Amino acid sequence: MRRVITYGTFDTLHFGHIRLLRRARALGDYLVVALSTDEFNALKGKTSKFSWEERKRDLEAIRYVDLVIPENTWEQKREDVVAHDIDIFTMGDDWVGKFDFLSDLCKVMYMPRTPEISSTMIRNKMQDLSTAAE
């Protein structure tokens, strides 16, 4: 069984996320998603529209996702790869090179993002709509 892992916040879940998860799952037989906790997001200067529990529940409803684990720190990736017997680590290509330090443990792959959509685009559009309504 080939096991794959990816990481993210997955706030404002959209079709780009679904496509990323589908492609990640297609790389193997089992997909682990490490989901940034609310506390970790705060350390990164991010806030989510939805709590970790809500985002976890949404990810678990996606058929490509086999397991959701908490991402608490930047440093936990090596531990996660070992603990979950990961064969492939994958992230969006906006992270190219950042996780190559894991290549001694597993294959590291960077996948193209869906150019038509991003969480940032959604948040900006929501802000524009909110500002226009005022």
Active site residues: 44, 46
Tell me 122's DSSP state: H
Closest listed residue to residue 32, CA positions, set 76, 100, 81, 73: 81
Contact 35, 56 (CB under 8 A): yes
